[in-house]
Structure 1
Amino acid sequence: MPQLNPAPWFAILTFSWLIFLTLIPPKILAHTFPNEPTTQSAQKPKTESWNWPWH
Structure 2
Amino acid sequence: MPQLNPAPWLAIMAFSWLVLLTVIPPKILAHTYPKEPTPQSTEKPKGDSWAWPWQ
Q: TM class, shorter-chain normalised?
A: 0.7 to 0.9
CA distance in structure 1 between the aligned counterparts of 2:34 and 2:52, rounded to whole angstroms: 44
Unaligned runs of 5+ in 2: none
Sequence identity (%): 72
Normalising by structure 2, what TM-score?
0.74
CA distance in structure 1 between the aligned counterparts of 2:52 and 2:32, rounded to whole angstroms: 48
Matched, 1:46 2:46: yes
Q: CA deviation at 1:44?
A: 2.3
What is the one-letter code of the residue matched to 1:19? V
CA RMSD of aligned residues (A): 1.7
CA distance in structure 2 between the aligned counterparts of 1:13 and 1:32, rounded to whole angstroms: 31
Number of equivalent positions:
54
Counterpart in the other structure of 1:35:
35
Counterpart in the other structure of 2:3:
3
